[in-house]
Chain A
């Protein structure tokens, strides 16, 4: 592992630990006197922007690193567009978080967060088509159907379990619609994600496998973050927000890390 990569991992783990520590012991002296909730929110806002800028630019550089006509090229462009949309959403929230220490919800940022999902879903579908076109075995059709059906069934059951209290929770109608929309979009995202995870398993132990492990882990954390956010907001458990920040930080960091790995691979 290169020094830069090791430093990146160390930074991500340190940030994750810092936010998990905040979630577990918010009354500890460290978080009461030094890393106050306002500072932690500001730190999360800045770091998320940093990871999203890196991820979006690196994904676009991956697109540029592939020749015209490469079926994976548009997928990297779509991934980059999704990360840019998320970045704009995060940048619209950051001034509130840095100045007032509050996160408005709903806000104009939600428009951009929602916009990112069609890009991510399209990116995954294009990646799947590209990998099928590669002629490399990506599993028999029956296996793929079984994976989609299994994940779809689990996702539907989880949706009913998670979304019922969210939909029935208090708040303005727009707030409730958004709280349902994010997890539903995540569950849709999970279907191509599961197929890509299956392919990533076949690539384990390799450079390409490492790219996909980081990218897909990032999206799994994104789904967890959205579900946590919807659940905690709907149930009025804002004290659990540190978990939401931790999952988003890990998500954006891992996606940026995966895109960076792919770029290094293309340029090596």
Chain B
């Protein structure tokens, strides 16, 4: 799956919780920090990215809810074709 497509899916799931603007900028910022360039996104990179987003969500939503939301993102990404 392309990074841009993955970010689009993530933003769709995260937006109700943290808003479209924050979801998009958080996903982009973490991609940049992890050195994930435009192009194809591997499963390891995806795991790293979701771990970072999950740890950020912890602060707003708590660990349990954050895990649920990250699970939703994983399912949405799998449905969109990014599953392993």
Residues in chain A within 8 A of chain B (CB atoms): 65-67, 70-72, 130-131, 133-137, 202-209, 265-266, 268
List the A residue with the shortest CB-CB distance to B56. Answer: A134
Contact of A135 among B17, B20, B30, B62 (CB under 8 A): B30
* Inter-chain contacts of A66 with B (CB < 8 A): 62-63
Enumerate chain A residues within 8 angstroms of B57, measured Cβ to Cβ.
134
Min CB–CB distance B34 → chain A (angstroms): 11
Q: CA–CA, A136 to B56, complex, Å?
A: 6
Assess A135 versus B22: contact at CB under 8 Å? Given A67-B62, A207-B16, A266-B65.
Answer: no
A-B residue pairs in contact (CB < 8 Å), sample of 25: A65-B62, A66-B62, A67-B58, A67-B64, A71-B59, A133-B59, A134-B55, A134-B56, A134-B57, A135-B26, A136-B18, A136-B25, A136-B29, A136-B56, A137-B22, A137-B29, A202-B22, A203-B19, A203-B21, A204-B19, A206-B15, A206-B19, A208-B18, A208-B19, A265-B65
Chain B 42-69, CB-CB to A under 8 Å as 1, else 0, gives 0000000000100111111111110000
Residues on B with beta carbons closer than 8 Å to the beta carbon of A206:
15-20, 22
Q: Is B62 a contact of A205 with CB atoms below 8 Å?
A: no
What band does the interface of chain B fall in when counting residues whose beta carbon is under 8 Å from A? 20 to 34
CB distance from B53 to the nearest CB of A (A): 8
State the main secondary structure of chain A at its contact with B.
loop
Q: Which of B22, B26, B56, B60 has the most CB of A within 10 A?
A: B60
Task: Tell whether B33 is near chain A: CB-to-CB under 8 Å.
Answer: yes
B26 pairs with A136, CB closer than 8 A:
yes
The listed residue (B15, B19, B60) touching A134 by CB distance below 8 A is B60
Are A205 and B19 in contact (CB-based, < 8 A)?
yes
CA A35 to CA B17, docked complex, whole Å: 42
